[in-house]
Chains A and B, each alone.
Chain A
Amino acid sequence: MAFSANKHRDLQFFYLIQVPKKFQHIVPGILLFMAFWPFSPLIHQVMADEIDNLRQEIQSIESQLKQLHQEEMALQSREKQLSETIRHLKEESKKSPSFLLNIRIEASLRDFRDLLLSIKEVETQEHELEEQLTTKRSRLREALSQRIGEQVKIAQDLYRKGQEKEADEAYLQGLGLMEDYKKLSKIEINEESAPHLIDTLELPPLSQAESEQLTELLDLLLDDAELMAKEVSRYTEIHQRLLQEKRLLDQLMGFQGVIERGQPSSSQRVQEIHRDRQDLERKIRIISQKITIYQEREKMLTQRARQLQEMAKGKKQVISPEKDKER
């Protein structure tokens, strides 16, 4: 401690002999500037590289998400088919029970469980990627915001040096960056429709189910339900933000001069606002649909998990929802 205090005093002494007291506080800033000034083109390059890298990463995540979504749809369609098969086999088994049918049912149920695991894995990956995308977008926004100011300064320096053509290009790049920033500020949603809801989650018959299988399936259902709950809360937040934006747009029409401020004609802006409004309405529709589907799915998964828990405790017979209704 004593050593660092002395060191600090030495540093102050150095200032006192070099710089008048009233300018001492700006010395570190000047020294820093002088140290980094020769590297400023390098700093700009690093920033530009960061923006390019982030853009590429975002593009890559978006294409991965698209691929995963297609995969999920395919798996869900397979889920539907398999569920139909199991239902059919069960009906046949009721009419004329046979050893072979039981084996086929057992095998189909195993396939079904594997399929559920795959769907869950895809959903988890999607969720992770969506989170990554949000983080990357926000980082890109920050990087762009910093870069915009730098870009305008570069253009101004070029113009002051008489390099007008180069300055023009730099100014336009600056404007382009501002528009990229604006696009990133918009609420982006996954336009793909939500996976359809299939209420076909069959549970294996208690007599045939081993406790290990039951635990595995229970964990799977609970995890999936939790994931759905996360999706619901994420989409609910987006939904709120979209509604707020729409409310603001609607409000604009009720004020005087806000839309046409400073412009000779407001018709273009009115059209833009109308388009923005329609876009928001479409997004709100998609998000509401997704919320409903994910809520239903979460409800269904939780219900099945509860049934499974009961089964594991041996307190209740296997009840499928259809049978529940019959009772």
Chain B
Amino acid sequence: MVQRIGLKIVLSLVITGCFMRSDPYELGNRALESKDYAKAVYYYRLTLDKDPSDNRARNNLGVAYLRNREYEQAFKEFQKVIALDPNNSKVHFNLALVYYARGLPEQEIQEYQNTLRLDPEHFAAHLNLGHAYLAQGQDDLASKEYEWILEQEPNHTQVIYNLAMIYLNHKREQEAALLLEHYLKLDPNSAWADKAKRHLESLKGTPTRNQQ
């Protein structure tokens, strides 16, 4: 009885393995994970030859192109997914990344906004939207996105630092100092920490070392 069960398990594993091996979509995913983008493109294309409406494969094909810096190809694939599935928040996010890579900030921001309209909790979209606003000099809007991130993840060092810098630029010195102190607790040794220390020192008027 035990032997039979064991045999069944082994057989099912072998069958699944064979299936997985021959499933081009899974092979594409594996290639994507191992950063072999040309191979990933090949397998996703195979998948799409069988079923052109497979939006998962098309989205991943776009991702493979994006990571391989073939932005025009990525743009086309993401747009095609949107044509069939306009409410797919992930594709809107991916498209925003293409726009960023092509230096099209207005379109990039619009796609992050589309992502958040469809999925208000999309963490990366909030983060990148904050970055994009900052790059456009829209500090107030950037702050809102960063503040949302900190509500979800209070120890997000990148956002703590950036928000501190925004507060600093806008003369909200006390809040900036608190954030910088918090930042230094979380990331005391990086190159950014040195900068944070310097900002904090200038805020307090005396070197941090002396205070300690």
Are chains A and B native binding partners rather than an unrelated pairing?
A: yes
Name A's B-contacting residues (CB within 8 A): 152, 155-156, 159-160, 164, 167-168, 171-172, 174-175, 178-179, 182, 244, 248, 251-252, 254-258, 261-264, 268, 272
- A178–B104 contact, CB under 8 A? yes
Question: A263 contacts which of B84, B100, B132, B135 (Cβ < 8 Å)?
Answer: B100
Contacts of A248 in B (CB 8 A): 135-137
Bound-state CA distance A248–B134 (Å) is: 9
Question: Among B72, B136, B158, which residue has its beta carbon within 8 angstroms of that of A256?
Answer: B158
Q: Which interface class (under 10, 10 to 19, 20 to 34, 35 or more) fits B?
A: 35 or more
Q: How far is the CB of B124 from chain A (nearest CB, A)?
A: 7
Residues of B within 8 A of A272 (CB): 103
B137 touches A168 (CB 8 A): no
Selected from B82, B97, B107, B169, the residue in CB contact (under 8 A) with A178 is B107
Determine which of A160, A174, A244 lies in contact with B83 in the assembled complex, contact meaning CB atoms within 8 Å. Answer: A160
Contacts of B84 in A (CB 8 A): 159-160
A164 to B77, CA, bound (A): 11
Q: A262 contacts which of B79, B80, B124, B137 (Cβ < 8 Å)?
A: B124
* A-B CB contact pairs (8 Å), 20 listed: A152-B79, A160-B83, A167-B76, A167-B80, A167-B83, A171-B79, A174-B79, A179-B102, A182-B103, A248-B135, A248-B137, A252-B135, A255-B162, A255-B165, A256-B157, A256-B162, A257-B127, A258-B162, A261-B128, A263-B101
A168 in contact with B100 (CB, 8 Å)? no
Q: Please name the residue on chain B nearest to A156 by beta carbon.
A: B83
Known: A171-B75, A272-B103. A255 touches B134 (CB 8 A): yes
With A152-B79, A167-B80 in contact, is A182–B158 under 8 Å at CB? no
B107: chain A residues at CB < 8 Å are 178
Task: Tell me, in angstroms, the Cα distance from A261 to B83 when the chains sit together.
Answer: 26
Q: How far is the CA of A155 from the CA of B104 in the complex (A)?
A: 19
The chain B residue with its CB closest to the CB of A257 is B158
Cβ of B192 < 8 Å from any Cβ of A? yes
Report the bound CA distance from A248 to B100 in whole Å: 16
Determine whether the beta carbon of B72 is less than 8 Å from that of A172. yes
Q: How far is it, in angstroms, between the C-alpha of A255 and the C-alpha of B159 when the chains are bound?
A: 9
Distance of B77 from chain A, by nearest CB (Å) = 9
Q: Which residues of B contact A178 (CB under 8 A)?
A: 99, 102, 104, 107
Name the residue in B67, B69, B102, B134 with the highest tally of chain A Cβ atoms < 10 Å from its Cβ: B134
Instruction: Answer yes or no: B131 CB below 8 A from chain A CBs.
Output: yes
Chain B: minimal CB distance from A241 (Å):
11
Kindly state whether residue B161 has any CB partner on chain A within 8 Å: yes
Chain A residues positioned under 8 Å from B80 (CB to CB): 159, 164, 167, 171
Bound Cα distance A155, B76 (Å): 9
A244/B137 in contact, CB under 8 A: yes
| Listed residue (A172, A174, A261) with the most chain B CB atoms within 10 angstroms of its CB | A261
Shortest C-beta distance, B137 to chain A (Å), equals: 5
What 1/0 mask marks residues of chain B from 65 to 101 whose CB sits below 8 Å from any chain A CB?
0010100100110011011100000000000110111
Known A262-B128, A268-B69; 6 more pairs at CB < 8 Å: A155-B79, A164-B80, A172-B75, A178-B107, A256-B162, A262-B96
Q: Whole-angstrom distance between the alpha carbons of A248 and B83 in the complex?
A: 35
If A179-B104, A262-B128 touch, whether A256 touches B161 (CB-CB below 8 Å) is: yes
Residue of B nearest to A148 (CB): B107
Q: Closest 7 CB pairs between A and B?
A: A156-B83, A256-B158, A262-B97, A258-B131, A261-B131, A257-B158, A171-B76
Assess the A257–B76 pair: CB atoms within 8 A.
no
For B127, list chain A residues within 8 Å (CB).
257, 261
| Residue of B whose beta carbon sits closest to that of A169 | B76
User: In the assembly, what is the distance between CA of A152 and CA of B83, in Å?
Assistant: 9
Contact check, B76 vs A172: say whether CB atoms are below 8 A apart.
Answer: yes
Q: Please determine whether B162 and A262 come into contact, CB atoms closer than 8 angstroms.
A: no
Q: Do A182 and B162 contact each other (CB < 8 Å), given the known contacts A255-B134, A264-B67?
A: no
Residues of A near B192 (CB, < 8 A) are: 256
> In the complex, are the beta carbons of B132 and A261 less than 8 A apart?
yes
Distance between A113 CB and nearest chain B CB, rounded to angstroms: 49
